[in-house]
Amino acid sequence: MRVTSNSFNAAVVDQLNRLSSKQYALQRQASTGRRLENASDDPEAARQVLGLQTRLQTQAQYQKNISALTDKAAAVYSALQGFQKVSSRAGEIATLADGTKSPAELKTYATEVNQLIEQVVQQANTKQGDAYLFGGTRSDKPPYVLTRDSQGNPQSVAYQGNTSVAPTEISADVAVSVGPPGANTTGSGPRGLLSDDRFGADFLQHLISLRDHLLKGDTAAVSANDRAGLAKDEDNLVNHVADHGALSARLQAAATAATSQSQTDRESISQNVDADLAQTLVQLGSVQTAYQAALQSAARLMSTSLMDYLR
């Protein structure tokens, strides 16, 4: 088979172009520290990087959700502590208000209970940002409305929230909600914070009942009815505190897992995208040597004439 000089020339030029392209790519990697600039540089690695970047974005959203829920959980816990303090003091008053107390002493207790009612309503209407914590998904208005008598004393309390809670995703297919509804009298759904017929809880109404019985001097009713009602309220609050503690631990575990997963994904992206500088420089040296050798060979081939073969 006859091979023309043009074939040699074309082959040499092709080899020089390939070596030049490779040399440029390695120089770019050495200067930028990245081996993957375009999908065409390594299609499989590019596919993996795109998948990892998508997962990173998802994890970032989970982390934002967890952070927001954690802040909300702190506000809810603060309110729960306040409710428990009121519950404890109300139980003490119901125990102290026995037949040995004078009408004046009982009225003093009633005045204190009025303040406890005010405190519970204030805490039940706690806001975080622009949203009320204990109105369910109806978070744009105060959950509890207090009606007063002509002397300004608490007369009755109405709940105007709902019993729905909004779940928020904290990981794939896992969603949680923070902050129970203030009341639930439907017989199903999430446990009401201050009122739930299933558990005999009706904290504000029991406080109002205690106050009224104290004003009347009816210590028998306090003993027979109010103590039992307040004990159920205390049990209900203890249950909420326990659930809240478990939820807080769950949020902390989810935050740790999301941070760990994000770190792993960033490292995987780095492995696919970043260049190994030492290895890149070694490869660049080899390519530069090959390029120089190819140039020298090309120069010799191009300078060879037919007369050189006839000598």
pLDDT tens per residue, range 14-33: 655 665 555 555 556 544 54
Residue environment code for 144-176, b if the CB has 16+ CB neighbours within 10 A, otherwise e = bebeeeeeeebeebebebbbebeebebbeeeeb
CATH of domain 52-266: 1.20.1330.10
Domain spans of the chain, in order of start = 52-266, 276-311
Q: At what angle do helices 43-96 and 203-216 cross, to 10 degrees?
A: 10
- Give the pLDDT confidence of 215-248 residue by residue, as tens digits: 999 999 999 999 999 999 999 999 999 999 999 9
The distance of Cα 287 from the centroid of its chain, to the nearest Å, equals: 50
What is the predicted pLDDT for the residue at 281?
Answer: 45
Q: Distance between terminal CA atoms of the chain?
A: 23
Q: Cβ contacts of residue 211 below 8 Å, gap of 6+?
A: 110, 113, 114, 117, 154
Evaluate if residue 82 carries a pLDDT over 50. Answer: yes
Evaluate if residue 94 carries a pLDDT over 80. Answer: yes
Q: Which of 204, 185, 207, 186 is nearest to 194 (CA)?
A: 204
Widest CA span of the chain, in angstroms? 138
Amino acid at 47: R
Q: Helix or strand or coil: residue 166?
A: coil
What is the predicted pLDDT for the residue at 277?
Answer: 45
For 288, counting Cβ atoms within 10 Å of its Cβ (0-12 exposed, 13-18 middle, 19+ buried), the class is middle
For 42, counting Cβ atoms within 10 Å of its Cβ (0-12 exposed, 13-18 middle, 19+ buried), the class is middle
What is the predicted pLDDT for the residue at 107?
Answer: 96
Residue 283 confidence class, pLDDT cut points 50, 70, 90: low
> Mean pLDDT across the stretch 207-221?
97
Amino acid at 36: L
Q: Which of 165-169, 233-237, 278-282 has the highest mean pLDDT?
A: 233-237
Q: Which of 169, 192, 197 is nearest to 180 (CA)?
A: 192
What's the mean pLDDT when you consider all of the chain?
A: 83
